[in-house]
């Protein structure tokens, strides 16, 4: 396909509108539950994370916000907000979603908001409310909730009681949201809970969001699904029911691998973006937060983040260029081969020249990854930061 002026205009419009949030923990020395491999250039302070985020945004033009993890980035809670605000001004990066930590404290061994102990549930709820207040102080819209709550053995917990405890906790949390804030409820089918997980799939997440209130919706992590699960069908359902709030993008070979986006199955991300573009074309009102949730144990932190953002831009662009009017006609007539060929044909088109043209037109480097390597940023920060280990020891 030779891209005509109409496709060129559509491409520029799509990329102008696309923003994706990067995670602070993606710049730190994080790894797997078995260990981690230290990188000299990894960020070990919140200031270094902001510096790295600013460099990614300078190169890609698509990442103006950085997700923060309360325990890792604001260990003193609200007392750390003025320092974060100063970093926002210094690096021109805004605080993005606020992520409570309900899985690292020793007292969460049997759960946080679903713990059988009322005292521990109250402690977890207090942390939720603190996180919401931090979000208000920083002007952050989304509170992104993921819990490790669940059980490992049959008969050891009351599944039904835990549903009720979580419903109540989310209703209370929702009641403390500011008028423009949202509560994004994430799900995960397994790990670390191997028998039952308290929010195990999108249906449970949607139920809890509805029970919480109108400012709550579902967060889809592309790694948090069983192998071969049809994630774009889940996305279509959430779009249809008005329950889709955002994404944590990554890729996986099995489940929750947190590999770089598009490294395993770029076609799946394309299919997801197609559902979103299609819904927008049908007139649905969408307010979707695109966020990256990756921790790179082997790839260089900065290279992996830039590579991921570029992949997200290109896949979003590919999906924007699908001729949905023609596709709809082919779908209606059940012309299966022609419909699939149109769909996958757009996926196979090389949109990198279009993306490069957009970047150059917006004053960015045509190839952000090459520009990162040319700039010497990684080598310079590696020398400055040395072999210091990050204070972060895990990731959501």
Q: pLDDT value at position 258?
A: 86
Residue 36 lies in a domain: yes
| 395: in domain | no
**Can you give the pLDDT at residue 387?**
52
**What's the average model confidence in pLDDT over 347-367?**
97
**Average pLDDT for residues 288-311, to the nearest whole number?**
94
pLDDT tens for 238-257 read 999 999 999 999 999 988 88
How many Cβ atoms from other residues are within 10 Å of residue 264's Cβ? 17
Tally of CB atoms within 10 A around 160 = 7
Residue, of 390 and 339, whose pLDDT is higher? 339
In a domain, 295, yes or no: yes
In a domain, 5, yes or no: no
> Residue 116 in 3-state DSSP?
coil
Q: In the numeric block, which tokens belong to residue 123? A: 């402690």
The residue range of the domain holding 138 is: 18-385
Helix (H, G, I), strand (E, B) or coil at 162: helix
The helix/strand/coil state of 248 is: strand
Cα separation, 58 vs 197, whole angstroms = 40
Work out the percent of the chain whose per-residue pLDDT is above 70: 96
- Asked whether the predicted pLDDT for residue 395 surpasses 70, the reply is no
Check if the beta carbon of residue 191 is closer than 8 Å to that of residue 255. Answer: yes
The radius of gyration of the chain from alpha carbons, rounded to an integer in Å, stands at 21
- How many domains does the chain divide into? 1
- Is residue 220 assigned to a domain? yes
Q: Three-class SS of residue 60?
A: helix
- Asked if residue 129 belongs to a domain, the reply is yes
Is the residue at 223 inside a domain? Answer: yes
* Tens of pLDDT, residues 16-70: 999 999 999 999 987 666 677 889 999 999 999 999 999 999 999 999 999 999 9
Q: 3-class SS at 259?
A: strand
Question: Tens digit of pLDDT for each residue in 77-109?
Answer: 999 999 999 999 999 999 999 999 999 999 999
Q: How far apart are CA 238 and CA 217, in angstroms?
A: 9
pLDDT confidence of residue 390: 41
CATH at 139? 3.20.20.150
Question: Binning pLDDT at 50, 70 and 90, where does residue 2 land?
Answer: low
In a domain, 215, yes or no: yes
The number of C-alpha atoms within 13 Å of 79 and in the hemisphere containing its C-beta is 3
């Amino acid at each position: 396909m030779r891209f005509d002026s109409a496709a060129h205009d559509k491409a520029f419009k799509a990329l102008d509108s696309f923003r994706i949030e990067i995670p602070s923990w993606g710049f730190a020395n994080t790894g797997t539950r078995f260990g981690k491999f230290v990188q000299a250039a990894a960020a070990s302070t919140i200031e270094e994370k902001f510096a790295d985020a600013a460099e990614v945004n300078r190169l890609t033009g698509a990442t103006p916000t950085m997700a923060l993890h309360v325990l890792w980035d604001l260990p003193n809670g609200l007392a750390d907000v003025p320092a974060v605000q100063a970093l926002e001004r210094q690096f021109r990066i805004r605080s993005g979603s606020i992520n409570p930590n309900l899985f690292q404290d020793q007292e969460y061994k049997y759960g946080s908001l679903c713990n059988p102990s009322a005292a521990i549930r109250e402690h977890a709820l207090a942390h939720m409310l603190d996180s919401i207040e931090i979000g208000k102080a920083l002007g952050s819209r989304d509170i992104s909730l993921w819990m490790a709550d669940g059980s490992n053995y049959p008969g050891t917990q009351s599944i039904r009681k835990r549903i009720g405890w979580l419903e109540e906790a989310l209703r209370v949390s929702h009641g403390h949201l500011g008028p423009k804030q949202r509560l994004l409820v994430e799900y995960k089918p397994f790990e670390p809970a191997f028998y039952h997980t308290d929010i195990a799939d999108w249906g449970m997440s949607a139920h809890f969001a509805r029970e919480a209130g109108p400012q709550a919706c579902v967060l889809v992590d592309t790694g948090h699904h069983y192998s071969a699960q049809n994630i774009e069908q889940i996305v279509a359902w959430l779009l249809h029911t008005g329950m889709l709030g955002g994404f944590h993008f990554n890729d996986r070979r099995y489940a929750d691998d947190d590999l770089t986006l598009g490294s395993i199955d770029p076609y799946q991300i394309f299919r997801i973006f197609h559902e979103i573009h299609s819904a927008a074309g049908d007139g649905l009102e969408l307010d979707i937060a695109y966020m990256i949730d990756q921790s790179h144990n082997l790839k260089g932190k900065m290279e992996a983040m830039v590579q991921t953002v570029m992949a997200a831009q290109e896949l979003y662009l590919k999906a924007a260029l699908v001729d949905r009017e023609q596709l709809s006609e082919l779908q209606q007539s059940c012309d299966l081969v022609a419909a699939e060929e149109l769909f996958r044909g757009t996926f196979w088109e090389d949109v990198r020249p279009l993306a490069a043209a957009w970047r150059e037109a917006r004053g960015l480097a045509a190839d952000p990854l090459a520009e990162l390597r040319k700039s010497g940023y990684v080598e310079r920060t590696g020398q400055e930061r040395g072999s210091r280990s990050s204070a972060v020891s895990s990731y959501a």
